[in-house]
Chain A
Amino acid sequence: MSVAFPDTARAALRQPFLTSDGRWISAGLGLAFIIVLGLPLLVTILWSLVDPQVGWFAPDIVPPSLALDHWSSALSNRSILSALGLSVGIGIAVTILTSVLALPTAYALAKLPFRMKRFVELFVLAPLIVPGIIVAVGIGAIFFRLDLVYTVPGVILVQTVGTLPLMIRILAATIEAIPNDLIAAARTLGAGPAAIARYILIPLAWPGFIAGGLLTFVSSFEEFEKTFIIGSPFVQTLPVILWTYLGGRGIIFPNAAVVTFILLVPMLIVFFLAGRVLRDDVLASGMGKL
């Protein structure tokens, strides 16, 4: 990626880009992130700590008193805990199913020449192009006949439709970067397709699996619309529970705030773990060009 410039040329090149605006950028970004990320976080924390005896009403900018009541009732609420377990379980199942389905196709798209390749590429991309609600309602009509509606397997199947395109694209982009010589060498040394997949493709495409897998898990964990249409009211993932607090009969802010955190904490853990292994270019490769 980096080009070997002579040091003098590099200094000259860098100079105009390194005008003294670095501090202004930092200050501006810092302020923006405090308003756009920090403030909402603070308000959500405060809402989750509102004292149910006192409440938090209009003129008060901070709640008059804080309590852990909503947290303790949420953490002893079986439906919320089982929703957390269910969300994680569905997320893992979707990630595994997506990876297994995506690998062979990603390999074919990345390494093999064939006719109608463009068509396959477009078809595999199509679920990103068609709004999720249409997919969900369409599948719902079929799942009614198959008795898959309102079931966990049904939710896993419908979520996978939405996660497959990105996984295939990210894996294909990573596999494309694997030198053909390696695969050819393995072939000459007698490796069959399974051995090539096991000893060359999967280890070398690992960054793609990590990026695609994390992205898949995140999008499954936060997925609402398809899950709601196929699974609700019997399959209650965390976003579905949050929806009932916000949309159903009357809005219950403190409960919603607590569920928000239960939903956010796993996401943020995955996110910061991912930040260590994930490169932006791998992520962007999945979407930069359609």
Chain B
Amino acid sequence: MTKGIFQRFAVAILILPAGGYLALFFGLPLMLAFLGGFGMFTRGDETGFTLEHYRALFGTQAYRDGLWFSTYLAIVPTVVSLAVSLPLAVALARTHPGQRLFNILYKVPLVVPGIVAAFVVMTMFDRGGLAARVLAPIGVDLPKLVRDQWAIGVIIATSWKAVPFMTLIIGGSLGAINRDILSAARTLGAGPLATFWRIQVPLALPGITAAFLLTFIGGMGAYAVPNLLGPVYPLPLSVHMYVNAFERNNWGLVSAMGTVLSLISIAVLLAYYRATRGMRTAYGGEAR
């Protein structure tokens, strides 16, 4: 019994540094933000419990549109990146000349800051950018791609940065699949495409969904890239948060916005757990 107590004590000591750190600098601010959304413990104007900030958030057209726009900026780049990453991961895993080089090159955007990606998109796709200059002589007039209504520029920059990240995770999941299963499928008459869709993709789904989830959250909270490349209206909630915090000093509203964005993230995470739990039972064991 003393050993049990000792062990529990040891575990507590071991978890304390990182756990305590995160409790202090992550859990506490988040908790304060949650309470602040209801008007409690906010900086400056202590009002007591109120739903005023949520009323302001959901009652103002600009913020409602911002919420939709944040969700849009989370979903679209993630879907685009997934559509690129899945075939890319498969192609990179196949034997081909220069495989080693390509397997290094595709990861370069991982270390390129998002602002640099935004800068490159500006030089290429903005009005008078290189793409427009190259296409003008052959009579192609590019639509507005930067600060445009559909946030094409934001989608390009975000996807460019997200593809290697997704490819890395998906490639890891694909690589972890037992080769015997693939050969079994082939001997049983499945062609390469059927093997891919019916064996590889389902078995790699935990990795695919994890990549999807992390990219989704990154897109939803992004501040710099939508601010540089996105339209003037609507602004994503992340930009509204910054403006209200540091230019209008309206921390209650900021807290309400942060809480709503966090809740969406958590909802997506829970959906992920539900989905992967189903997968584990369906295919017996985890893919990784």
Which residues of A approach B to under 8 Å, CB–CB? 3, 13, 16-18, 21-23, 25-26, 28-30, 33, 36-37, 39-40, 43-44, 47, 57-61, 100-102, 104-105, 107-108, 112, 114, 120, 123-124, 126-135, 137-142, 144, 157-158, 160-161, 164, 168, 218, 221-222, 224-225, 228-229, 239, 242-243, 246-247, 251, 253, 256-257, 260, 263-264, 267-268, 270-272, 275, 280-281, 283-285, 287-290
Contacts and interface: CB of A to CB of B under 8 A. Distances in A.
A25 B88 CA distance: 10
B133 A61 contact: yes
A168 B133 contact: no
Contacts of B39: none
Nearest to A240: B115
A120 B128 CA distance: 52
A83 to B, nearest CB: 13
A147 to B, nearest CB: 14
Interface of B: 7-8, 10-11, 13-19, 21-22, 25-30, 32-33, 36, 43, 91-92, 94-98, 102-116, 118-120, 122-124, 128, 130, 133-134, 136, 160, 168-169, 171-173, 175-176, 179-180, 183, 186, 192, 206-207, 210-211, 213-214, 217-218, 220-224, 227-228, 238, 241-242, 245-246, 251, 254-255, 258, 261-262, 265-266, 269, 272, 276, 286, 288
Contacts of A131: 217-218, 220-222, 238, 261-262, 265
Contacts of B105: 33, 37
A267 B95 CA distance: 29
A246 B180 contact: no
A105 B29 contact: no
Contact of A104 (B15, B22, B102, B221): B15
Nearest to A290: B210
Contacts of A108: 11, 14-15
Given A17-B95, A58-B133, A100-B17, A246 B172 contact: no
Contacts of B246: 229
Contacts of B186: 16
Nearest to A14: B95
Contacts of B288: 285, 288-289
A102 B18 contact: yes
A43 B123 contact: yes
Most buried by A among B169, B213, B217: B169
Nearest to B10: A112
3 closest residue pairs by CB, A with B: A131-B221, A284-B172, A138-B29
A218 B246 CA distance: 27
A57 B286 CA distance: 56
B113 A246 contact: no
B33 A137 contact: yes
Given A131-B220, A139-B25, A22 B95 contact: yes
Nearest to A107: B14
Given A129-B217, A251-B122, A59 B172 contact: no
Contact of A260 (B116, B136, B276): B116
21 contacts: A29-B102, A30-B98, A40-B124, A60-B133, A101-B18, A101-B21, A104-B17, A114-B7, A129-B265, A131-B222, A134-B262, A137-B245, A141-B43, A161-B26, A224-B113, A253-B119, A253-B122, A280-B175, A287-B211, A289-B206, A290-B213
Contact of B118 (A168, A246, A288): A246
A264 B112 contact: yes
Nearest to A283: B168
A133 B241 contact: yes
A258 to B, nearest CB: 11
A134 B272 CA distance: 21
B261 to A, nearest CB: 6
A247 B227 contact: yes
Contact of B32 (A25, A142, A239): A142
A246 B10 contact: no
Contacts of A251: 122
Contacts of B217: 128-131
B39 to A, nearest CB: 14
B210 A287 contact: yes
A218 B265 contact: no
Given A3-B180, A102-B18, A142 B221 contact: no
A241 to B, nearest CB: 10
A114 B30 contact: no
B186 to A, nearest CB: 6
Contacts of B206: 288-289
A104 B15 CA distance: 6
Contact of A239 (B98, B106, B113): B113
A85 B286 CA distance: 45
A101 B24 CA distance: 13
